[in-house]
Amino acid sequence: MNLRLTDDEAQALRTRAEQEGRSMNEVAREAIHRYVSDRDDRLGALIQRVASEDAELLDRLGR
């Protein structure tokens, strides 16, 4: 797999990796792992937020 980043994204990744004393590959893989493993939690929180913020609308649509 090849990951194509913009120049700005690559620089941000390089900077973060250097700050942490790790390789760019390590930082990118950890970010991807966090993204895919937290997906269900983030999706649940988003659904809850929409349900809360739009409760009145959802109630009217359900009638």
pLDDT tens-digit profile of 3-50? 999 999 999 999 999 999 999 999 999 999 988 888 788 889 999 999
C-beta separation of 13 from 24 below 8 A:
yes
Report if residue 23 sits inside a domain.
yes
Report if residue 2 sits inside a domain.
no
Please indicate whether residue 63 or residue 25 has the higher confidence score (pLDDT).
Answer: 25
Overall domain count for the chain: 1
Q: By CB neighbour count within 10 A (0-12 exposed, 13-18 middle, 19+ buried), where does 42 fall?
A: exposed
Q: Which domain holds residue 25?
A: 7-61
Alpha helices in the chain (DSSP H): 7-20, 24-37, 39-53, 55-61
* pLDDT of 63: 87
* pLDDT of 18: 98
* pLDDT of 59: 85
